[in-house]
Structure 1
């Protein structure tokens, strides 16, 4: 376990600490100047995550370093918290170690450490919440609950399962969560109101409407691009195989259920339903909570198999499969994020015009000599292309009038590869 953690640490710190998306850019701005109205960061502000990054900035040179270091450290803690959660759930030490190794080597979870987003920090508070509940430290669990919501508010539906679990076992003990949760909640509310006043609530309503009606790209929205079956198939090789693996695991957990395993099982179900229904399938990172909980449930199921030789064989098979997946999907050499690769390439070109649907604000900031148009506005994008400018896209375009000039590949699953195009010379 120590060796796996060292290898993970080496890989995370060998990769450049660079911004790879507009969201990460907004977070880095929020470390120095917080305002959801100015998208630094965007709504709902993530006050606990910003506070963690600001704490890191006291020891580092700039906001980008502080942001990426925060997500790196959070990603490193995920396997250790998963191990502690498995042990608290009654899983044998050897199978808990298998869970640690599977989490430590998951390409998706490793990638969370480099994206500069709140997912990895939110995951450690989610795992800490489940762990403190299982160990019956409810006052501490209240603090974890507050930190979870203030770090990653989109995980709010996931806490329904732990709350229902407490109500089922002993409803009166739910009150013990309130002090810690209220402390973090009031501090966070004061933080955002101090910076944005009542406008924070108007921005919140606009954001909720936008997520489900405009840009959210979820199955609950009006339009959806891509699907979770496609994303999971790309990551695991077969979505059907994943379902076939999950069903017997969930059945065995239910058949040999304990209060601790029921907590994990119900949280997994809530997480999966929320992700499939309300999250963007083009962002694989949204599946991280479900993936971690499935790994934990899988290890618990293995530890409870009555045929010990079979459980050992299956553990070796899973570890080998995870290792092969990690080796095949990861970029091991130090490499810039695709958006930074594109920026470096564009700086070497003579044409200073660009139309893009990805990283618009970050590119405008880092390419001050470029005219960067947002393809959300077709007229501006068309003028850029007709004057010989570039078209940077997060998807491969099937347009006979465009010729692809360069591809900027992702470093890990869940990171967006980019392609750059230009009009064919004979068109205009």
Structure 2
């Protein structure tokens, strides 16, 4: 119930990115491992890894755990994980050739040097983690006083992934915290199962927070329905392809700063931004769920 009612569930459901598939197969793999189905676990983990390569930190931590505490499971899990991953890699290589590797290198370099660690973000992981929506997780303090050996793997996964997002993920993308939320829900369900009143209050809190969002479509789609946009060039760094291909608007990518600046100086434009303007005439388009950015439409 904690996971079903968490406000973050809508994030991975409606974002249509790879987190949902990666997490599904990751937890299925953990379940298979718990049942001692080591080969199946390795195969499922490979599916999770290729769905969401940034979960590599999970598998590194997991293999270290198996080496230290369940060495008899390490070999079959690792063999089937690597062999299944090799099959996926072969399939991708046959279809894309070396382009896949070139794109991978380009993406990794861009992630760590340009955007992926919050280089251009005004937020921090402190802001995201200690936000109001996460207040129920204050009960995780119980972990400091009552730790169970059977959850050693989950403790390790939680800590390693927490450090990973702190140093290697963008706080602008709140979806990166979702794996921690689901693992934390497992911890909470264990420690609160004998506290039905507190559990009820947490579930009520989650539902209340979900109901605060009443938008039916994404902010960029809300903006796109404004037919006045046809009158001017749009400068944006979000939803560019949607605005161009679906709605046929004239859009300049704000990533190319000099070009966008020139267009702004030479034309009357609309600007779409996720940064709240300080002094300007703007319209607000709110997100549908926690983590979806509110967008602002400025007329200049």
- Normalised to the residue count of structure 1, the TM-score between the two structures is 0.65
CA distance in 2: counterparts of 1:391 and 1:282, whole angstroms: 19
Q: How does 1:20-419 map to 2 (within 5 A)?
A: 101-218=1-118, 224-236=121-133, 242=137, 244-248=138-142, 250-254=143-147, 257-259=148-150, 261-303=151-193, 308=194, 311-328=195-212, 330-331=213-214, 335-345=216-226, 347-368=227-248, 370-386=249-265, 387-398=267-278, 400=279, 402-404=280-282, 406-419=283-296
- Cα deviation for residue 124 of structure 1 reads 0.5
- Cα deviation for residue 175 of structure 1 reads 1.1
Q: Which runs of 5+ in 1 are unaligned?
A: 1-100, 424-428
- The CA RMSD over aligned residues, in Å, is 2.1
Give the direction of change, closer, same or farther, for the CA distance of 1:223–1:350 in structure 2 (3 Å limit).
closer
Give the direction of change, closer, same or farther, for the CA distance of 1:177–1:201 in structure 2 (3 Å limit).
same
- Cα deviation for residue 372 of structure 1 reads 1.0
Residue correspondences, number = 299
Residue pair 2:7, 2:207 contacting (<8 A) in 1 also: no
Residue pair 1:407, 1:419 contacting (<8 A) in 2 also: yes
Is the partner of 2:235 in helix, strand or coil? strand
Give the direction of change, closer, same or farther, for the CA distance of 1:315–1:237 in structure 2 (3 Å limit).
closer
TM-superposition CA deviations, 1:238-264 (whole Å, max 9, x none):
5xx74x43222x22442xx133x1122
Q: Which runs of 5+ in 2 are unaligned?
A: none
Give the direction of change, closer, same or farther, for the CA distance of 1:237–1:267 in structure 2 (3 Å limit).
closer
Residue pair 1:355, 1:373 contacting (<8 A) in 2 also: yes
CA distance in 2: counterparts of 1:193 and 1:233, whole angstroms: 42
TM-superposition CA deviations, 1:167-223 (whole Å, max 9, x none):
1223242111134323431222122212321232222222111111111134xxx66
Residue pair 2:21, 2:51 contacting (<8 A) in 1 also: yes
